[in-house]
Chain A
Amino acid sequence: AQSVAQPEDQVNVAEGNPLTVKCTYSVSGNPYLFWYVQYPNRGLQFLLKYITGDNLVKGSYGFEAEFNKSQTSFHLKKPSALVSDSALYFCAVRAFSGYSTLTFGKGTMLLVSP
């Protein structure tokens, strides 16, 4: 069975500082990896995905994520955080082969202070 772990319930960072939101995964074979963001009382919005190729993928709003196969990780990063980045972030994984359900982590709340 595939799974996603987001070890931090909350990440606090000051505006202008770099941020990292951690994600590790477990899946049979190669993974497809996704990050979504959820603002209060809103649905999930797609940020970025890793399918194949370059391990560093860039997405919306200046976010990027690095795929590390040996560590089975897909951490979300941003060089300079904004207060408006404060939201709930979800990592998700799908298996490479066959049809696979998109499995989400429990989410990490990012709080960016002014």
Chain B
Amino acid sequence: EAGVVQSPRYKIIEKKQPVAFWCNPISGHNTLYWYRQNLGQGPELLIRYENEEAVDDSQLPKDRFSAERLKGVDSTLKIQPAELGDSAVYLCASSLAGGNTGELFFGEGSRLTVL
């Protein structure tokens, strides 16, 4: 069974440039998450989707970050314009829908470096 797939794995951009990350969750997983992991820290939730609906985006910096999951399967996270402080690893995860007991399955992450 394929896991969570993310691309690109690495991205280097200059500040003020846009960047986008793509995620394809495990087949059948209706819940999709985007997390940001800063160096030396644990992952922090940016946004959670149930199917195509964003049900928790309270931690998403909406002035420059946006996300979509149009058909309830794959998702894109965009940053425009990027700032130096956005350098981090962006992790996508998925889980079966509903409840708090299920574990999350993570992709390998997209490492962003903003120069």
Contact = CB atoms under 8 A, between A and B. Distances in A.
A84 B72 CA distance: 37
Contacts of A49: 101, 103
Contacts of B104: 44, 46, 102
Given A106-B42, A107-B41, A44 B106 contact: yes
Interface residues of A, number: 25
A86 B21 CA distance: 29
A74 interface: no
How many B residues touch the partner, as a band? 20 to 34
B56 interface: yes
B79 interface: no
Contact of B109 (A43, A51, A90): A43
24 contacts: A4-B42, A32-B100, A32-B101, A42-B108, A42-B109, A43-B93, A43-B109, A44-B43, A44-B93, A44-B104, A45-B106, A46-B103, A49-B103, A90-B42, A95-B100, A99-B100, A101-B45, A101-B48, A101-B56, A102-B104, A104-B43, A104-B44, A107-B40, A107-B41
